[in-house]
Amino acid sequence: MFRAQVIIKRKPSILDPQGKAVEKGAQHLGLTNIKNTRIGKYIEFDVISNNREEAEKEVNEYCSKLLSNPIMEDYQFNLIDLNSYDNK
């Protein structure tokens, strides 16, 4: 079994008003060095498979068809092999 850790970010060309609003909060806190705040999503799930290649294929499909919208978002993911993790 694999654990997938997916990060979805808005494409750099797309404005992130939420990130901008949150950054204003940083300024109110006096954190003047904080710049370029952008808010994305973190999604975690398991893939029941012992084959990394097959698991990657399925995660890619999940990410591109449902979890992200390729017009405005990019995704990246990590796949952790839970079986080998248990053996350690």
Partner 1 sequence: MKPKFGIVVFPGSNCDHDAYYVIKKIMNCEAEFLWHKNSDLKNCDVIILPGGFSYGDYLRTGAIARFSPIMESVIKFAEDGGIVIGICNGFQILLEAGLLPGVMLQNISLKFICKDVYLSVENCNTIFTNGIPSEKKSLKIPIAHGEGNYFATEEILKELINNNQIVFKYCGPDGDLSEDFNPNGSMMNIAGIINKRGNVLGMMPHPERACDPILRKTDGQFIFRSVISNLIKNN
Q: Which residues bind partner 1 (CB under 8 A)?
A: 14-15, 17-18, 21, 66-67, 69, 71-72
Residue with tokens 């017009």: 71
Cβ proximity to partner 1, 43 vs 79, nearer residue? 43
Cβ proximity to partner 1, 55 vs 63, nearer residue? 63
- Run of H or E residues at 87: helix 82-87
Cβ 37 to partner 1, closest distance in Å? 14
Cβ 46 to partner 1, closest distance in Å? 18
3-class state of residue 13 by DSSP: coil
* Residue 59: Cβ-neighbour burial (10 angstroms; 0-12, 13-18, 19+): buried
